[in-house]
């Protein structure tokens, strides 16, 4: 079976295939991009597997186009940043996992080993890009069948033990494509779910970020498979999820940060950025709407504020007037009026913000009058 290759990537793949062929190697478009082409979805990036030295192919392609290539000899990979796509080149490899959850030992391997090291059959297909059979699908694991049936199937019984993050990858694909785990895969998932506890919190957090990008469905599928209780994440009720989405749709704010924070609000286990920690702490400290606290919360997290507090209509109002409530007067101008920088200045700025929120201050002149009045009081 031949897969139609869209015009925007066909010349790129043909050229890479020809370079490989001239060096005596076969090359393929593999993994997610092969899956997405079959599904007729837009490609985010290009993953090339070369049966041979992928780094040499990447270097030659980059030389032709005057592009920079980043090489990782220890992983047998190279990355080329094109104008429209990032192209990842990898030599066919096999991977072994010394202990559950550890990073794999990578060794050169053949085509079949490279397909069998992968997470799910739908991600273990290859589309040939060498000139003699450009576009031909090579599917040794019946991935196409699973893709058509909407099934996520692991390659072997110990897959989730080798790399428990595959459970979270499965959640991501299930949410994105509406696929379900194949019966035996589901049995392995339930049996091996506790292996997630041995994975570093950094890696888990990265996967949770990806799951949050899938929207509300990502969190729903995660909860359906009880991952939240294994990882001590919050149980996020549907009511909260729906409100996050409702606010995002009203305002155009991407919900992903709020969805992620909704999972992480009740745990200190994860290495969050100080930025995210600050926002989560502010939200947790909110009972009802508090303009001073809400003004300190980044816009990305407003959907979560809206979902959590009782008088949520205030958050909608805040979103529409937020630019008008920042004080116009500068620190320098306040100094000239006799206020020294420090806690007092901060307090006055907050008071101005509250008065702007209440509509009692509208202009910079009003602010100056207020400050003078306050100094004379
Ligand atoms: P997305 O569409 O979300 O970018 P993807 O399928 O392209 O997902 P990547 O993380 O970019 O996934 O990985 C590319 C390919 O590498 C996957 O399709 C899969 O074949 C393989 N892969 C990635 N991570 C793993 C893993 N943890 N275990 C086994 N195979 C993996």
The number of CA neighbours under 13 Å toward the Cβ of 288 is 3
Report field, pTM of the whole predicted structure over 0.85: yes
Q: Is 207 in the pocket of ligand 1 (CB under 6 A)?
A: no
What value does the CA radius of gyration of the chain take, rounded to a whole number of Å?
Answer: 27
- CA 316, CA 306: separation in Å to the nearest integer? 8
pLDDT confidence bin for 377, thresholds 50/70/90: confident
Residue located nearest, by CA, to atom 15 of ligand 1: 31
pLDDT confidence bin for 185, thresholds 50/70/90: very high
- CA 235, CA 228: separation in Å to the nearest integer? 7
Q: Is 166 in the pocket of ligand 1 (CB under 6 A)?
A: yes
Q: Is 162 in the pocket of ligand 1 (CB under 6 A)?
A: no
Instruction: Quickly list DSSP for 178-219.
Output: --EE-HHHHHHHHHHGGGGGGS-HHHHHHHHHHHHHTTHHHH
pLDDT in tens, 194-215: 999 999 999 999 999 999 999 9
Residue located nearest, by CA, to atom 28 of ligand 1: 119
What average pLDDT does this structure show over 357-373? 91
Q: Is 314 in the pocket of ligand 1 (CB under 6 A)?
A: no
Ligand 1 centroid to Cα of residue 135, in Å, is: 21
Tell me the three state secondary structure of residue 81: strand
Report the percent of the chain where pLDDT is more than 70: 100
pLDDT in tens, 26-40: 999 999 999 999 999
Ligand 1 centroid to Cα of residue 30, in Å, is: 10
Characterise 309 by phi-psi region: left (phi > 0), alpha (psi -120 to 50), beta (else): beta
Q: Is 31 in the pocket of ligand 1 (CB under 6 A)?
A: yes
Pairing state of beta strands 151-152 and 27-30? unpaired
């Amino acid at each position: 079976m031949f897969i139609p290759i869209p015009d925007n990537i066909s010349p790129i793949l043909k050229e890479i295939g020809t370079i490989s062929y001239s060096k005596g190697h076969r090359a393929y478009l593999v993994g997610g991009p092969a899956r997405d082409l079959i599904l007729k979805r837009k490609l985010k990036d290009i993953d090339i597997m070369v049966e041979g030295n992928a780094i040499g192919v990447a270097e030659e392609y980059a030389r032709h186009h005057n592009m920079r290539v980043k090489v990782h000899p220890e992983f047998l990979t190279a990355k080329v940043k094109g104008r429209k796509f990032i192209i990842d080149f990898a030599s066919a490899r096999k991977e072994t996992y010394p202990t559950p959850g550890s990073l794999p030992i990578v060794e050169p391997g053949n085509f079949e080993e490279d397909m069998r090291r992968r997470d799910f059959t739908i991600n273990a297909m290859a589309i040939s890009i060498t000139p003699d059979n450009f576009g031909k699908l090579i599917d040794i694991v019946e991935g196409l069948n699973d893709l058509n049936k909407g099934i996520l199937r692991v390659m072997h019984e110990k897959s989730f033990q080798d790399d428990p993050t595959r459970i979270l990858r499965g959640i991501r694909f299930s949410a994105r494509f509406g696929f379900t785990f194949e019966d035996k895969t589901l049995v392995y998932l339930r049996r091996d779910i506790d292996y997630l506890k041995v994975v570093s919190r950094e890696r888990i957090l990265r996967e949770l970020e990806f799951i949050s990008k899938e929207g509300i469905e990502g969190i729903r599928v995660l909860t359906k498979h009880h991952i939240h209780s294994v990882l001590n994440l919050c149980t996020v009720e549907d009511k909260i999820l729906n409100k996050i989405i409702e606010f995002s749709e009203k305002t155009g704010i991407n919900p992903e940060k709020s969805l992620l924070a909704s999972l992480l609000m009740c745990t200190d286990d994860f290495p969050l950025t100080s930025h995210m920690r600050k926002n989560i702490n502010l939200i947790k400290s909110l009972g009802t709407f508090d303009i001073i606290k809400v003004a300190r919360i980044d816009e990305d997290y407003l959907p979560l504020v809206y979902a959590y507090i009782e008088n949520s209509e205030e958050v909608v109002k805040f979103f529409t007037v937020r630019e008008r409530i920042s004080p116009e007067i500068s620190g320098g101008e306040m100094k000239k009026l006799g206020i020294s920088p420090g806690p007092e200045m901060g307090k006055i700025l907050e008071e101005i913000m509250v008065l702007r929120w209440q509509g009692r201050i509208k202009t910079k002149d009003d602010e100056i009058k207020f400050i003078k009045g306050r100094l004379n009081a």
